[in-house]
């Protein structure tokens, strides 16, 4: 849009200062564009294109233009500054010397995303899908297979641009190669799916970190999708960012009701589905699956914990995510133990049945210790390594009890292992986290998938904010 040479002004009729300077603008013969009243001056900027392209933040704004280019501007009304810009003395003798202006409609928070999408050359490269007038946008997303079975938020350009403000990373940056189709996934594509999941922009850095962790070779996302087992990605968040974005680490931390918990995990799953092609019944071959394959995400409760934060213990202090292949929640009930030895034995007894009581060294587990149980260990001075060490002793099992056929149970380890003592979990295959409400002597075991080189290894990554 080429500006006419001379004096150009942008105003809105709803601004008292703009009304105040109307006689001065008419005296100067300025070309005036009005944002909210097409009949007030000759210039109609009700679509706000001129204001957006000129970067107008306050009205009135007076500009001097030469050869189509702005050479000077004044914001608000100041007789001295207007006289300097125009070269005309004695402007507005009956007006006060100075009056501040009003906010431009082009920077209205409720319009800025629409204007950026319309005029800003936003750089979004995702394919645009035009819906017919008769199509319901929510049903259209279902019909195209872009949902997880629940309604999603339509990812309009405005919403995607708003989401991208949650990170300083460029929209075109490649975050990860997403299995199973091994597709490059950009920040923009993550933002699209984060919108669909219902995320707020401040959640985006956590989603990006979770995707980076999930797509590492050691996490083995393709295998996790293709297995007939129950597991799917579980996201545990550590660091100040968890509180900053309002995550739940307390009451019902593993359940429903918290937007950040629910939508961060869901966004990761939608990226895997919509970008990577990991759809149930296709590559995703789970016999039964588990509800956590829609979303499974919580923050660790670091305050009052007997343990150092999970991510810090894994070498990544501060804001971080840990990805774990979780298969579902198994309750642990112990309302009587008041010393750590007894409570550790309860945990060991419950952990022994993880996946199957006669299958050692195969399936990982995460023990989520609640605050009331955690207090028992904290008051006794037990940290993470002490509890893990005690559990390793308690979960060292005689193979003779685990041999196939023993106890009239066909499942178990082969006869060749007879006479040995076997650990229930491989080294590093048992994780500890601290979460939950202050009341209730209950903890939880989140079963895992096959661990180690033949399966999935938990992965921790920094959240870049």
Q: SS3 for 346? A: helix
Q: How far apart are CA 400 and CA 390, in angstroms?
A: 22
Element spanning 7, H or E: strand 6-11
pLDDT of residue 260: 98
Element spanning 241, H or E: helix 240-244
β-partners of residue 447 are 328, 365
Tokens 């799917």 belong to which residue? 232
Write the CA distances from 216 to 225, 230, 326, 416, integer angstroms: 14, 20, 16, 35
- Average pLDDT over the chain, rounded to an integer: 96
Write the CA distances from 369 to 345, 355, 384, 429, integer angstroms: 14, 19, 11, 16
The DSSP result for 109-142, as a single string, is TTTHHHHHHHHS-----SPP-PPPTTS-HHHHHH
Residue ranges for the chain with pLDDT beneath 50: none
Tokens 């009003």 belong to which residue? 102
pLDDT of residue 121: 65
What tokens were used for 136? 């319901």
pLDDT of residue 327: 96
Closest CA to 62 of 21, 12, 113, 10: 10
pLDDT of residue 182: 96
pLDDT of residue 1: 67
Q: How far apart are CA 306 and CA 173, in angstroms?
A: 39
Q: Where are the beta strands (DSSP E) in 196-327?
A: 232-238, 297-299, 320-326
- Which residues fall within 8 angstroms of residue 26, CB to CB, at 6 or more apart? none
Are 300 and 310 in contact, with CB atoms under 8 Å apart? yes
The domains located in the chain, with CATH, are: 6-108 (3.40.30.10), 141-462 (no CATH)
pTM to 2 decimal places: 0.86
């Amino acid at each position: 849009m080429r500006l006419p040479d001379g004096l150009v002004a942008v105003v809105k009729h709803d601004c008292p200062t703009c009304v105040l300077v109307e006689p001065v603008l008419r005296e100067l013969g300025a070309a005036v564009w009005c944002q909210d009243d097409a009949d007030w001056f000759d210039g109609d900027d009700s679509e706000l294109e001129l204001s957006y392209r000129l970067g107008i933040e306050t009205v009135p704004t007076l500009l001097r233009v030469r050869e189509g280019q702005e050479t000077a501007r004044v914001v608000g009304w100041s007789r001295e500054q207007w006289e300097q810009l125009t070269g005309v003395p004695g402007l507005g003798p009956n007006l006060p010397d100075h009056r501040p202006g009003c906010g431009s409609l082009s920077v209205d928070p409720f319009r800025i995303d629409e204007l950026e999408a319309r005029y800003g050359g936003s750089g979004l490269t995702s394919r645009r899908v035009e819906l017919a007038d008769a199509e319901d946008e929510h049903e259209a997303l279902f019909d195209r297979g872009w949902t997880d079975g629940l309604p999603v938020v339509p990812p309009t350009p405005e919403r995607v641009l708003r989401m991208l403000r949650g990170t300083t990373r460029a929209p075109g940056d490649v975050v990860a190669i997403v299995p199973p189709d091994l597709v490059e996934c950009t920040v923009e594509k993550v933002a699209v799916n984060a919108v669909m999941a219902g995320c707020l922009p401040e959640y985006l850095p956590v989603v990006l970190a979770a995707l980076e962790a999930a797509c590492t070779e050691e996490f083995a996302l393709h295998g996790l999708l293709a297995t007939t087992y129950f597991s799917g990605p579980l996201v545990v968040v550590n660091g100040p960012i968890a509180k900053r974005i309002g995550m739940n680490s307390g009451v019902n931390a593993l359940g429903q009701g918290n937007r950040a918990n629910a939508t961060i995990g869901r966004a990761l799953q939608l990226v895997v589905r919509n970008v990577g092609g990991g759809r149930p019944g296709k590559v995703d071959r789970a016999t039964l699956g588990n509800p956590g394959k829609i979303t499974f995400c919580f923050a660790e409760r670091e305050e009052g914990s007997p343990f150092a934060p999970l991510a810090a213990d894994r070498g990544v202090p501060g804001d971080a995510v840990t990805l774990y292949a979780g298969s579902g929640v198994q309750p642990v009930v112990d309302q009587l133990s008041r010393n750590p030895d007894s409570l550790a034995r309860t945990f060991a007894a419950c952990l022994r049945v993880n996946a199957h009581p006669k299958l050692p060294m195969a399936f990982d587990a995460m023990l989520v210790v609640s605050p009331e149980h955690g207090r028992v260990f904290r008051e006794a001075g037990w940290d993470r390594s002490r509890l893990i060490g005690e559990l390793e002793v308690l979960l060292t099992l005689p193979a003779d009890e685990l041999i196939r056929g023993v106890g009239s149970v066909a499942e178990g380890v082969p006869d060749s292992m007879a006479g040995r003592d076997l650990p229930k979990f491989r080294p590093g295959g048992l994780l500890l986290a601290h979460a939950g409400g202050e009341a209730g002597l209950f903890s939880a075991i989140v079963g895992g998938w096959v661990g180690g080189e033949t399966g999935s290894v938990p992965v921790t990554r920094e959240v870049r904010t």
